[in-house]
Amino acid sequence: MVKKVSLKEIARECGFSVSLVSAVLSGKNRVNRCSGETSEKIKACAKRLGYTPNLLAQAVVTGKSPIILLSLREEAPGEPEVLNFYLNDLLIDGSRHLAEQGFYMLYMPYRTEYEQVEQVRKLAGSGIISGVIANIFSMTREIPLYSYLEETQLPAVILGFPKTDRLVSVGIDNSPIDRWIQQYAVGLGYARGAQVMPFLNSDRFCYRDQTPFSGEDIRRKDTLFFAPGFSSYRKLTARFPEILSSLVLLEDTRFHFQISGPAVLLPSANPLAMKRACELLVPWCRDGRKPEQKTHIIQRSLEQIQMIQP
């Protein structure tokens, strides 16, 4: 078991009082009018002895926590986590970008918009976090999280396109994919191409614009359907087996599972969106520099698109 170095040991080693050592290592040295030279000596001594600061205690004292909350909607029960490349991208890339700036990520999943805002409220109120990166549970204009963030002015970046101009957001422009889908479908003799996915928290399906989808749409035989992600593909084929002859899988280039039908593999834009969110949030949390621009859009690239034929 690693022995924790105490402030008393550091004070004895460097020859200063415990109160001064505590003030320097907690960020309150200005209150004690400590010189820069003395401060550096204490910090060097603490580092040499292997002192590890209590991040939460420092956050309470300085009012600046190095912890950022990542608030993401949890997948439905039974959904294979390995297939959720979206979550994978955000956790890995976000943690790396924040660590480079001296920040840490705390990930908490939520299932309802009310659970989400309560998590943010409790963590921000206790001083554990200094900011939040969150995705959107609902596409409505007013949800509890929006009101809370506006009221408290807690530094926050929303992933997606919130229907409000009051919050800072980073969204992904998928129009290049939509255009490619149309061209690909028409090239195969269909009237159009369309993405179909499970509707949030229900057993129904919808198009990307939230228009309801039904088996009648398949029987018209004028549309080439695209399932965004293996999870959507699996649910669609289980519910509508007849869709297989006119269904294409849209999947991330890194997470392709062999299927009986064609697949289009696309490069993910999630790492770019997460990097931008961190770039906006860190100066805001550290120095109070709120982004001047509210909406930030990441353009999708189709340069590395791959076609897989069975």
Per-residue pLDDT band at 60 (split at 50, 70, 90): low
Give me the residue label for tokens 């992904």.
172
* Burial status of residue 142 (CB atoms within 10 A of its CB: 0-12, 13-18, 19 or more): exposed
What pLDDT, on the 0 to 100 scale, is given for residue 275?
Answer: 95
Do 261 and 279 fall into the same domain? Answer: no
Kindly report, residue by residue over 167-176, the tens digit of the pLDDT.
999 999 989 9
83 has a pLDDT exceeding 80: no
Q: Is pLDDT at 137 greater than 90 in this prediction?
A: no
Statement to judge: residues 84 and 165 lie in one domain: yes
In this predicted structure, the answer to whether residue 252 has a pLDDT above a threshold of 70 is yes
Higher pLDDT, 105 or 16: 105
Task: Identify whether residues 281 and 159 lie together within a single domain.
Answer: yes
pLDDT of 1 above 60: no
The answer as to whether 146 is a domain residue is: yes
In a domain, 308, yes or no: no
d(CA 188, CA 91): 38
CATH of the domain at 285: 3.40.50.2300
Beta bridge partners of 167: none
Asked, for residue 134, whether it belongs to a domain, the answer is yes
Confidence of residue 54 (pLDDT cuts 50, 70, 90): low
Q: Are residue 164 and residue 101 in the same domain, yes or no?
A: yes
Total domain count, the chain:
3
- Kindly state whether residue 260 falls inside one of the protein's structural domains: yes
The Cα–Cα gap between 265 and 3 comes to 50
**pLDDT in the model for residue 207:** 92
pLDDT(209) > 70: yes
164 and 104, same structural domain?
Answer: yes
For residue 305, tell me if it sits in a domain: no
Same domain, 13 and 83: no
Q: Which domain holds residue 251?
A: 175-266
Considering the domain architecture, whether residues 30 and 149 belong to the same structural domain is answered as no
Q: Is the Cβ–Cβ distance between 274 and 158 less than 8 Å? A: no
CA distances from 84 to 58, 229, 270 (A): 35, 9, 12
Both tokens of 162, joined, read 């919130």
> Where do the H-state alpha helices sit in 109-220?
113-125, 144-152, 175-187, 215-219
- 126 and 186, same structural domain? no
Q: What's the mean pLDDT when you consider all of the chain?
A: 85
User: What confidence score (pLDDT) does residue 81 get?
Assistant: 44
Q: How far apart are CA 181 and CA 224, in angstroms?
A: 9
Residue 238 is assigned to a structural domain of this protein: yes
Asked if the model's pLDDT at residue 162 lies above 50, the reply is yes
Q: Is residue 120 within 8 Å of 71, Cβ to Cβ?
A: yes
Cβ within 8 Å of residue 205, ≥6 positions away: 196, 197, 198, 199, 212, 213, 214, 235, 236, 239
Burial classification of residue 61, based on how many CB atoms lie within 10 Å of its CB (0-12 exposed, 13-18 middle, 19 or more buried): middle
Residue 1 lies in a domain: no
Task: Looking at the structure, tell me whether residues 162 and 192 fall in a common domain.
Answer: no
Give the domain CATH number at 39: 1.10.260
Span between the terminal Cα atoms of the chain, in Å: 55
163 and 85 assigned to the same domain: yes
Q: What helix, strand, coil percent values describe the chain, rounded to 5?
A: 45, 20, 35
The answer as to whether 143 is a domain residue is yes
Percent of the chain with pLDDT over 90: 41
Separation CA 181–CA 196 (nearest Å): 12
In the chain, which ranges are continuous DSSP H helix?
7-14, 18-26, 36-49, 55-62, 85-100, 113-125, 144-152, 175-187, 215-219, 230-239, 270-287
Short-list 34, 45, 59, 41, CA closest to 7:
45
Q: Are residues 191 and 160 in the same domain?
A: no
Calpha distance 212→199 (Å, rounded): 8
Confidence of residue 200 (pLDDT cuts 50, 70, 90): low
Radius of gyration of the chain, Cα coordinates, nearest whole angstrom = 25
Segment 23-44, tens digit of pLDDT:
787 766 554 567 778 888 888 8
285 and 147 part of one domain: yes
